């Protein structure tokens, strides 16, 4: 994590959210600084995905506030937040299956009017994932799950995000692929100051790259610890 004293990239205070009349997130507080990876840990149904969907602006806020890059975005639309620098990679359906790899990547950077910057981001993506260079013209939907996850991460990076939210990136992937993706995310946090919200059930994998952890259960944050404190625990069962 960056050692400077910059203001948080994301601050969530007392967030309440849900679907229609059903509330599933209750008074959640989160903070992510530039260059920091915050792991949000918990089982399915704990409210993790609803939390980041609400932060992005897909779900409405029932209560609480969301501040992004120093601005109140509590009522902002997802379109506004994406343009402002948020990116989210969902756990499923994360590429345009019928489009080629290169078209997926170019679509990811379509909102950036700066052609030179888009070209530089594309070079960065190719450097991070050389496999995508060889498969540039392959339909993204015909690739393996791990390869598609790399495409989706490349798409997100093409938009030059300030905050990257990853929903269960290890889901269904081989450990070696997970390790590569996680190492890439850690590198981006360290070298580019990218703020990251990493939602995971795989505690062991997450603890290899996160700086801090927030554990969610039944729509609430029940524990906040540093990665070192979490690693020192003998067991995680009592948390979930």
Single out the residue in 101, 135, 160 at which a domain terminates: 160
Query: What pLDDT is attached to residue 1?
Result: 47
Q: Minimal CA–CA distance to 64: which of 223, 221, 199, 218?
A: 221
In which domain, by residue range, is 108 found?
Answer: 93-160
How far apart, in whole angstroms, are the C-alpha atoms of residue 190 and residue 184?
10
Single out the residue in 160, 176, 203 at which a domain terminates: 160
What is the Cα gyration radius of the chain? 17
Q: Minimal CA–CA distance to 143: which of 107, 94, 198, 88?
A: 94
User: Does 133 share its domain with 109?
Assistant: yes
User: Does 139 share its domain with 238?
Assistant: no
User: Does 103 share its domain with 201?
Assistant: no
User: Does 197 share its domain with 208?
Assistant: yes
Query: What pLDDT is attached to residue 237?
Result: 65
Query: What pLDDT is attached to residue 6?
Result: 67
Number of domains in the chain: 2
User: Does 156 share its domain with 114?
Assistant: yes
Query: What pLDDT is attached to residue 240?
Result: 67
User: Does 63 share its domain with 98?
Assistant: no
DSSP letter (8 states) at residue 225: E
Question: Which regions of the chain are under pLDDT 50?
Answer: 1-3
Q: What CATH number is given to the structural domain containing 203?
A: 3.40.50.300
Q: Which residues of 103-123 are buried (b: 16+ CB within 10 A; e: fewer)?
A: ebbeebbeeeeeeeebeebbe
């Amino acid at each position: 994590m960056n050692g400077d004293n910059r203001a948080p990239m994301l601050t969530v205070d007392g967030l309440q959210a849900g679907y229609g009349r059903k509330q599933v997130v209750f008074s959640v507080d989160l903070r992510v600084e530039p260059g920091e990876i915050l792991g949000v840990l918990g089982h399915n149904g704990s409210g993790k995905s609803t939390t980041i969907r609400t932060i992005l602006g897909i779900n409405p806020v029932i209560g609480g506030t969301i501040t992004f890059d120093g601005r109140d975005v509590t009522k902002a639309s997802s379109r506004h937040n994406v343009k402002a620098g948020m990116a989210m990679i969902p756990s499923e359906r994360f590429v345009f299956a019928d489009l080629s790899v290169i078209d997926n990547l170019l679509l990811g950077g379509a909102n950036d009017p700066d052609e030179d910057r888009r070209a530089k981001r594309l070079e960065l993506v190719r450097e991070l994932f050389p496999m995508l260079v060889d498969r540039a013209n392959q339909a993204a939907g015909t690739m393996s799950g791990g390869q598609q996850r790399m495409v989706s991460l490349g798409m997100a990076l093409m938009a030059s995000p300030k905050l990257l939210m990853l929903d269960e990136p290890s889901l269904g992937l081989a450990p070696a692929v997970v390790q590569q993706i996680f190492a890439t995310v850690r590198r981006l946090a360290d070298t580019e100051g990218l703020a990251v919200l990493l939602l995971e059930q795989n505690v062991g994998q997450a603890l290899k790259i996160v700086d801090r952890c927030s554990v969610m259960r039944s729509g609430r944050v029940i524990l906040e610890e540093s990665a070192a404190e979490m690693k020192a625990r003998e067991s995680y069962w009592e948390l979930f």
